[in-house]
Amino acid sequence: MTSDRVLGILAVLMGAGMAAMSWGYVAQVEYEPVGPRAFPLLLAGLIALCGLWLVFKPSHRAHFGSTLQMRSVALCALFVVLYAVLFQVLGFVVATALMSIPVGRIFGGTWKQSVLTGVGMGLVLFVLFDTLLDVVLPAGIAKPLFTAIGL
């Protein structure tokens, strides 16, 4: 099965789902001829049509990398999601350091290089944005430490 077929099936499902949801979008008081559901319904229909086209006339087989490469892509994606989830809880400095180490390793850095860039970057970017440029970043679990040194 080509990747186009999968994409097409997903598009058909998405169109169907959108149509089902938007069917219920009716305004309580209609004072214009085209209400809130027409445009989403139109889009849903066209998305499903595109999907059908791809199912019946697929043209492309995706060139995914080797298994090893795909594993590092999946790992990297996992760390990006973890970074997003932990960003606020752990605070910028800690989360950035923890993200940079595995991502740096995946991109070919040594342990030493990755740890040093991770920690350094977390601190430097925090001081740059939060302290100097006034873009507020979460301090998280490092907060007591920051207050102690007066940042």
Residues 86-125 that bind other proteins (CB under 8 A): 87-89, 92, 96, 99-100, 103-109, 113-114, 117-118, 121-122, 125
Which residues, 49 to 68, sit near other proteins by CB under 8 A?
50-51, 53-54, 57, 59-60, 62-65
3-state secondary structure 20-56: HHHHCCCCCCCCCCCCCCHHHHHHHHHHHHHHHHHHH
Q: Is the Cβ–Cβ distance between 18 and 44 less than 8 Å?
A: yes
Contact call for residue 149 and other proteins (CB under 8 A):
no
The secondary structure of the chain in percent helix, strand, coil, rounded to multiples of 5, reads: 75, 0, 25
Contact call for residue 81 and other proteins (CB under 8 A):
yes
Which residues, 17 to 36, sit near other proteins by CB under 8 A?
18, 21-22, 25-30, 32-36
**CB-count exposure of residue 118 (10 Å: 0-12, 13-18, 19+):** buried
Q: Give 71 or 145: the residue with its C-beta nearer to other proteins.
A: 71
Q: Give 32 or 149: the residue with its C-beta nearer to other proteins.
A: 32
Q: Which structure tokens are listed for 150?
A: 């007066």
- Of the chain, the end-to-end C-alpha distance in Å amounts to 57
Instruction: Please report how close the Cβ of residue 149 comes to other proteins at its closest, in angstroms.
Output: 21
Instruction: Please report how close the Cβ of residue 119 comes to other proteins at its closest, in angstroms.
Output: 11
Q: Give 134 or 144: the residue with its C-beta nearer to other proteins.
A: 134
Q: Give 69 or 147: the residue with its C-beta nearer to other proteins.
A: 69
**Residue whose entry in the numeric block shows the structure tokens 């791809």:** 54
